[in-house]
Structure 1
Amino acid sequence: MRLRGRKGIRENLEQQEDLVVLDPGQYRGKWAELFGNDLPIHVEFGMGKGQFISQMSYKHQQVNFIGVDMYDELIRRASEKGRLAWSEEEVETPPNLKLALFNIENAEQVFAPGEIERIYLNFSDPWPKAKHARRRLTHPRFLNKYTQILNERGQIHLKTDSVTLFEFSLNSFADYGLQMTNISLDLHRDGLNEEHVMTEYETKFVGQGMQIHRCEVMLGKQALEEYSKDRLEKYGN
């Protein structure tokens, strides 16, 4: 993926220390300290232009959000959307949002064990060729990273338009012994839910009539206990 950014983009990001984190490794185990509270931390790996993470931060103000990408230009665009999402509140800097520049391959170097509550994987690169399967963000080698940084309430929420990636992901989760729930092959079949926050890609694909696939994965002990309790209440024995 090649992006043509504006001149002086790094200087722009360096001037946004209130929102942009260019050296995220220094906050490993200290993200709560950076946010100044002990609210749950949700992370979007591969946030793109930042529409999803920006709107989520505004709609769910009792959660801290971190948007991650490895491209300067996408961090810049996300910073604009992050501030815009809060503009009606006349807030210059979203209090519960940080944008971190790093490669997801280094997730364990940025987040300490149990530091994160939820991971969002939205329209990740499907890497359709079999020889590139290891690069898919739901490959077991990435799941190993996620299980390390997620806490007792840990979950992964996946959305994609790629049937190939979705099938691969479901098999990957199952092989890893993870519990899946809320699996949908056509998320918006019955119309758009006003509470649902869409990404840029999702908005585009839904407008083209494409199906969106989604599932949630329970990893943490407490998340699994709550899942089992909900199933028992809904279905009984």
Structure 2
Amino acid sequence: MHLRPKPWARPELEACGFFQATPPVHRGQWHHLFKKKQPLHIELGCGKGTFIAELASRHPETNYLAIDLIDAVLGLTKRNIQAAYADKNQAIDNVQIMSWDIERIDMILAPEDGVERIYINFCNPWPRRRFHKKRLTHTKQLEKYKKLLAENGEIHFKTDSDDLFRDSIKYLESAGFTITTLINDLHAADYSDNIETEHERMFSDQGIKIKFLIASLT
């Protein structure tokens, strides 16, 4: 994702009550940052935050962590979350956002955090074979997620890329996950829980089918 620098982003984030500037200090203790101890779900690569803003504001019974690397992007995430909660007249008490390199996710989350669900939406497909290990669904990353997920924890994955989707199924199965939902054309399927992302709308408008799966750690 290429964005122009946004000088306002970091100051806004640092003044924001649901932005965590030093995620590693909360490793194994994320529940303490929320108003209630509830199931914990995370989104990896939240982008501008339209997905997590809608998801978290719809589900106050769940706590959410949203992670991205770029401050300019997280500044927009912060504003989108505020707008979504304002529309519903809700307090922002079940979502936290942070800047972090997802390849090092094991430095900010621990088994004690008991993550029940991971969302990965339209991550970089890294099409060249020599870069496949950078994929967020690669086996190398899945082994890290397995240590964080609670029993029967899930990964929810959406992509526009046929190659990434096909390979991700193999990665998940080789890492010991069970595919419980597999949809090759999400918008043509009867799946009522979908929250459309900005990338999803863009790809769908281009006639590209959206692929979706749920994988369970059993």
TM bin (shorter chain): over 0.9
| Inter-CA distance 190–147: structure 2 relative to 1 (3 Å threshold) | closer
CA shift digits 1:184-215 (9 cap, x unpaired): 11111147x55421111012222222100111
Q: 2:110, 2:148 within 8 Å by CA — same for their partners in 1?
A: yes
Find the structure with the greater CA-based Rg.
1
Structure 1 consecutive aligned stretches of length 4 or more whose deviation exceeds 4 Å? none
Find the partner of 1:107 among 83, 86, 105.
105
Alpha-carbon shift at residue 114 of structure 1 (Å): 4.5
What TM-score do you get using the length of structure 2 for normalisation?
A: 0.94
Letter in 2 for 1:95: D
Report the aligned-residue RMSD.
1.5
CA distance in 1: counterparts of 2:7 and 2:171, whole angstroms: 41
Letter in 2 for 1:96: N
Instruction: Give the equivalent residue in structure 2 for 1:23.
Output: 22
CA distance in 1: counterparts of 2:189 and 2:168, whole angstroms: 24
CA distance in 2: counterparts of 1:52 and 1:88, whole angstroms: 15
The answer on 1:214 being equivalent to 2:215 is no
CA distance in 2: counterparts of 1:44 and 1:145, whole angstroms: 15
The answer on 1:6 being equivalent to 2:11 is no
State how many pairs are aligned. Answer: 217
Q: 2:66, 2:98 within 8 Å by CA — same for their partners in 1?
A: yes
SS of the residue 1:86 aligns to: helix
The answer on 1:196 being equivalent to 2:178 is no
CA distance in 2: counterparts of 1:46 and 1:151, whole angstroms: 21
For structure 1, list consecutive stretches of 5 or more residues without a partner in the other structure.
225-237
Q: 1:69, 1:75 within 8 Å by CA — same for their partners in 2?
A: yes
Q: Which shows bigger deviation, 1-10 or 123-132? A: 1-10
The answer on 1:169 being equivalent to 2:173 is no
Identity %: 33
CA distance in 2: counterparts of 1:159 and 1:71, whole angstroms: 21
| Inter-CA distance 80–43: structure 2 relative to 1 (3 Å threshold) | same
Alpha-carbon shift at residue 22 of structure 1 (Å): 1.4
Q: 1:49, 1:75 within 8 Å by CA — same for their partners in 2?
A: yes
CA distance in 2: counterparts of 1:120 and 1:114, whole angstroms: 19
SS of the residue 2:111 aligns to: coil
